[in-house]
């Protein structure tokens, strides 16, 4: 994130955030978004292209970009990476056949320089269909401890049953707020010989 981006966010009164919601198709991304909006999740279909959901959370206006996860669409994900504040990666933990593919796609996505430093929340979704999953095993499977360029966390959840989604989302927003808004309005930055006071 460049200096001008930091300055803009520090001064911005509406405190707006941009979150990418990614993962393979049928992982439950749209159900996660609808849960955060307190909408009905009984009839959710696949996302072709993208949808934008706006959530008012704490003091922030959060735009969640729900991007389709079909294989034919993944090459277009990079078109949405600019100005990303955080990433929610949703994985279907009941789909063991595609778990390793999901890991590959995650690490491939995180290599893009526009996402460097963006905090990562992995939502291990569909806990209701795989209740015996162990968080530590997922951390190991997703090689999360190798991620040294960003904060990360993983939450077991069931978007359908409304369990764990809000807690994970809260962690992500708190982490972004700590870095981007520097917990205050009186911020002084020294860069290139100039002092900026807000």
Q: Is 25 annotated as a binding residue?
A: yes
Q: Is 23 annotated as a binding residue?
A: yes
Enumerate helices (H) and strands (E) in the chain, giving the number of each: 5, 8
Angstrom distances, CA of residue 114 to CA of 6, 11, 102: 14, 22, 20
Q: Is 27 annotated as a binding residue?
A: yes
Q: Is 177 annotated as a binding residue?
A: no
Q: Is 118 annotated as a binding residue?
A: no
Q: Is 47 annotated as a binding residue?
A: yes
Choose the catalytic residue: 39, 58, 70, 167.
70
Q: Is 188 annotated as a binding residue?
A: no
Q: CA-CA distance, 163 to 94, in Å (whole number)?
A: 16
| 140 HSE (CA, 13 A, CB side) | 5
State yes or no: is 167 an active-site residue.
Answer: no
Q: CA-CA distance, 127 to 47, in Å (whole number)?
A: 22
Annotated binding site for GTP: 23-30, 69, 125-128
Q: Which residues are marked as active site?
A: 70
């Amino acid at each position: 994130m460049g200096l001008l981006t930091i300055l803009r966010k520090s001064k911005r009164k509406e405190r707006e955030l941009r979150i990418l919601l990614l993962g393979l198709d049928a992982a439950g991304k749209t159900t996660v978004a609808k849960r955060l909006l307190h909408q009905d999740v009984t009839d959710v279909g696949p996302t072709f292209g993208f949808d934008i959901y706006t959530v008012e959370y704490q003091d922030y206006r959060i735009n969640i970009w729900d991007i389709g996860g079909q294989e034919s669409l993944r090459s277009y994900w990079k078109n949405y990476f600019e100005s990303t504040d955080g990433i929610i990666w949703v994985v279907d933990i009941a789909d063991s056949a595609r778990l390793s593919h999901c890991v590959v796609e995650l690490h491939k996505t995180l290599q893009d320089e526009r996402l460097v430093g963006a905090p990562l929340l992995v939502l291990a979704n569909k806990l209701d269909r795989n209740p015996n999953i162990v968080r530590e095993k997922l951390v190991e499977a997703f090689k999360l401890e190798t991620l040294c360029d960003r904060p990360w966390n993983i939450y077991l959840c069931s978007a359908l049953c409304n369990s764990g989604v809000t807690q994970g989302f809260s962690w992500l927003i708190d982490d972004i707020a700590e870095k981007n808004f520097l917990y205050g309005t009186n911020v002084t930055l020294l860069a290139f010989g100039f002092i900026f006071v807000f």
